[in-house]
Amino acid sequence: MHELSLMEGMLEIIEDSARAQGCHRIRTVILEIGKLAGVEVEALRFAFDAVTAGSLAAGAALEIEEPEGQGWCAACGKVSPVTARYDMCPRCPTLPLQITGGAELRVKALDVD
Ligand SMILES: [Zn+2]
């Protein structure tokens, strides 16, 4: 149910932003959910339909972008692809990479009326 509470939080951001723009209907919501964010995208889609019922975003299309994971190594300074948090640098296998991409979890854009 992590995705449900996450989606409720995102809906607040979405509705606040839509009201700030003076709009009354949201046509499309674009989320950015990195592959390392630990979120089940299918569960999030399901949660979206559930929490947006009766809201400004009711019936809106949901688009989800899923950036690939990447990380930076403090030892060699290289950026490498990361498939899981705490992946090690392929050149310096003693150091976990610092995640620089793929952990996104945000409302990226709205298309509103
Ligand atoms: Zn390294």
Residue 111 reports pLDDT greater than 60: yes
Q: Which domains does the chain have, with CATH numbers?
A: 2-112 (3.30.2320.80)
> Sorting pLDDT into bands at 50, 70 and 90, what band is 1?
low
User: How close is the Cα of 70 to the center of ligand 1, in Å?
Assistant: 13
Residue 24 reports pLDDT greater than 90: no
Residue 17 reports pLDDT greater than 70: yes
User: How close is the Cα of 76 to the center of ligand 1, in Å?
Assistant: 4
User: How close is the Cα of 25 to the center of ligand 1, in Å?
Assistant: 48
Whole-number pLDDT of residue 32: 97
Q: What is the DSSP string of the chain?
A: -HHHHHHHHHHHHHHHHHHHTT-S-EEEEEEEE-TTS---HHHHHHHHHHHHTTSTTTT-EEEEE-PPPEEE-TTT--EEE-SSTTPBPSSSTTSBPEEEES--EEEEEEEE-
Whole-number pLDDT of residue 86: 87
The pTM is what? 0.87
User: How close is the Cα of 57 to the center of ligand 1, in Å?
Assistant: 44
Our CA angle for 57, 58, 63, nearest 5°, is 60
The predicted-structure confidence for 70-89, as pLDDT tens digits, reads as follows: 999 999 999 999 998 889 99
